[in-house]
Amino acid sequence: MESVRSRRWLRISGFLNFWRVFRKNPLGLIGVVILACFLFIAIFCPVLSPYDPEATVGEIAAPSSPANIFGTDQLGRDNFSRVLYGTRISLILGITAAAIAVFIGTTIGVASGYFGKGSGEILMRFTDMFLVLPQLALMIILAALLGRSIYIIMMVVGVTVWPLMARIVRSEVLSLKQRPFVERAVSIGCGDFHIVLKHILPNVLPLITANAILTIPWAIISESTLSFIGLGDPTVVSWGSILTSAFKNSAIMLGLWHWFIPPGLAIVLLCVSFALIGHVADEVLNPRLRR
């Protein structure tokens, strides 16, 4: 009975620890709150938006009015609804691209780090090849070959970011390999796979998570950039595409701030929130740093 009680208490105290660390970091908390708002918007945007983002509901490039808080774009579509729906794309895009980068980067990084000389070195050279790929050029080529699609963008960002992840993971794995507790694992008879899964990966996790979280803003901004130069997916509502159309339609000159500021601000806020969370993530996930 004693042990069951203490087990439950330790699990609860695990959450309390989590909460305590976040509480101590007001910045992290702000990041979480902002992200929560965006998540809420992303999930409930059909309910929250007054209009269908693709439907023409007003005059072309109309200024802000009670009917259209952010005005309308060059096709008369409500900007407010478009910004709300844009949240979905940004989040999905960011998370998927980061996931691709993490998956490939971690696998190659761990393999390269664990196997050291020989195959490890070969993997590193392979990584270096991808490291030098220019994101933009790749995007243009693929867009030309396969058409402009949001999936291509996700893939390109993932494929150009994973080498950095692999390098970081590799150096961490190399240093972890030297630590006595890995030596101990060998001495008690653990096989390589077990050591990697149970000892190396969990200890690399904080680093991966922190980096993954910081990859997401990069992906979102990359998409905006690509949209801006005309490589974005025209069938999808993204903040980048809203910004692009605002720019192309001289919104700045016409003083139509309601058109281009909201999406720009949204990008900044979402990226900042991820940055703040990533900042705190390491401390939360690393039991050793917790005091």
Q: Binding residues for another protein, per CB under 8 A?
A: 2-3, 6-7, 10, 179-181, 183-191, 194, 198-199, 202-203, 287-288, 290-291
- Residues 67/51, Cβ–Cβ less than 8 Å: no
Q: Which is nearer to another protein, 29 or 269 (CB)?
A: 29
| Dihedral in degrees, nearest 10, Cα atoms 239, 242, 246, 249 | 150
Q: Cβ 30 to another protein, closest distance in Å?
A: 22
User: At residue 196, what are phi and psi to the nearest 5 degrees?
Assistant: -65, -45
Degrees to nearest 5, angle at CA 167 with 174 and 173 = 20
User: At residue 54, what are phi and psi to the nearest 5 degrees?
Assistant: -95, -10
Q: Cβ 216 to another protein, closest distance in Å?
A: 24
- Residues 157/92, Cβ–Cβ less than 8 Å: no
Q: Which is nearer to another protein, 54 or 192 (CB)?
A: 192
Residues with Cβ < 8 Å from 200, sequence gap 6 or more?
110, 113, 114, 173, 176, 177, 182
Q: Which is nearer to another protein, 145 or 291 (CB)?
A: 291
DSSP letter at 56? B
Q: Return the CA Rg of the chain.
A: 23
**DSSP H helices in 55-149:** 79-115, 119-131, 135-146
Q: Which is nearer to another protein, 93 or 281 (CB)?
A: 281
d(C-alpha 246, C-alpha 240), whole Å: 10
Q: Cβ 114 to another protein, closest distance in Å?
A: 14
Q: Cβ 85 to another protein, closest distance in Å?
A: 40
Look-up of token digits 């691709």: 100
Q: Which is nearer to another protein, 136 or 174 (CB)?
A: 174
Q: Cβ 2 to another protein, closest distance in Å?
A: 6
- What angle do the packed helices 135-146 and 150-177 form, to 10 degrees? 140
Q: Which is nearer to another protein, 3 or 129 (CB)?
A: 3
Q: Which is nearer to another protein, 59 or 183 (CB)?
A: 183
Q: Cβ 164 to another protein, closest distance in Å?
A: 24
Q: Cβ 19 to another protein, closest distance in Å?
A: 15
